[in-house]
Amino acid sequence: MKSKITCFNFEAGRIISGKYEVISKVGSGWEGEVYLLKEADTGIERAAKVFYPHRNPKDRSVKNYAKKLHKLRACNSLIKYIGREKLRFKGQDITFLLSEFVEGITLDTYINSYFPRGLYYYQALHIFYAVVQAVEEIHFNKEWHGDIHSENIIIQKVGLEYELKLIDVFPVTHGIKGTIQEDVFHLCHLLYELIGGKDKYSKQPKIIKEICCGLKTSLIKKKFRNATHLRTFLENSEWE
C-alpha cells in the first residue's frame, strides 16, 4: 500500500516535470499545495496547484477543477487555467494544475499586516463591493465559487480602487455541490471579518448590520439570493 502524502515542501530551485523551476511555496490547503514556478525555457512565471494523491483519486478532483475554470474562462475575476502536468514524488504520480500567476497579496495577509484590528467600515465596504462584483461574474454563469474567504482573494490597491482575483473555486467533488446562496453567506461572513468581527460589530453603522444580518442565515437568505442582490443593495444604500 502506498503511503499517504501529506506534504511536498518543494524547495526553491527544484526542477519538476523537467521544465519548471520552483521559485517559492505560496501556500497550502486541504487539497494540496500552491507554488510559484518559472518555465525553464521562457522564464515565464506560472502558479501551480499540486494535489495530494489521496485528495485526487483517479484525477477526478483535477478534472473537475479544470472543467470549472474552463467553463468560467470569460470571468475576469478568476485566474486563467493553462493546463495540467505530472511529476513523480516518492514513487507516486502527482498531478498539478498550471494557471496564470497573479501579482498581489491575499486579502487576509493585507488585513493582518495593515489592519489587524479590522478595517474602517467605509474602506471595508469598498473592498467588499469589489469582491461582490467579482463573484457576480460567476453567478451570471449560473455557477458558484464555493469557498469565498480572505485567503482565497488576491488583492492589489490601484489608486482609489481595488483590483482582485478569486482563487480556489470549488468544483463538484465526491457528490458535494455548492450553491449560489452559500456564496452569499460566505460574502456576508467576509464583510463581518473585514470590519473586525464580533468585537467591532456592535458599533458598526446601519449598512454593515443590514448586510451581515447578525450572520443569521435565515435573514441573509430572505434578503440576498445572489451577488447581484448584494451589489444593487450597496449601490442604492447610503454608506455614511
Same domain as 184, residue 80: no
**The domain spanning residue 196 has which CATH number?**
1.10.510.10
- Residues 156, 56 share a domain: no
Counting residues of the chain whose pLDDT is more than 70, the rounded percentage is 95
What CATH number does residue 94 fall under? 3.30.200.20
Question: Range of 114's domain?
Answer: 105-235
Stated pTM of the model: 0.88
Number of CB atoms found within 10 A of residue 179's CB = 10
Q: Residue 171 has what pLDDT?
A: 61
Contact 132, 226 (CB under 8 A): no
> Helices (DSSP H) in 12-120: which residue ranges?
60-71, 107-114
Kindly state whether residues 23 and 141 are assigned to the same domain. Answer: no
The tens digit of pLDDT for each residue in 66-85 reads 888 899 999 998 989 999 99
Query: CA end-to-end span of the chain, whole Å?
Result: 62
Provide the number of structural domains found in the chain.
2
Dist. CA 64–CA 179, nearest whole Å:
16
For residue 191, give the amino acid letter.
Answer: L
For residues 81 and 155, membership in a common domain is answered with: no
pLDDT of 174 > 50? The answer is no
- Measured CA to CA, the distance from residue 159 to residue 135 in angstroms comes to 22
Question: pLDDT tens digits for 90-130?
Answer: 989 999 999 999 888 899 999 999 999 999 999 999 999 99
- If asked whether residues 144 and 229 sit together in one domain, one would say yes
What CA–CA distance (Å, rounded) separates 188 from 73? 26
How does strand 153-158 pair with strand 105-106?
Answer: antiparallel
For residue 4, is it within any domain?
Answer: no
Would 140 be classed as within a structural domain? Answer: yes
For residues 195-204, give the mean pLDDT. 95
Q: Quick one: 122 and 230 in the same domain?
A: yes
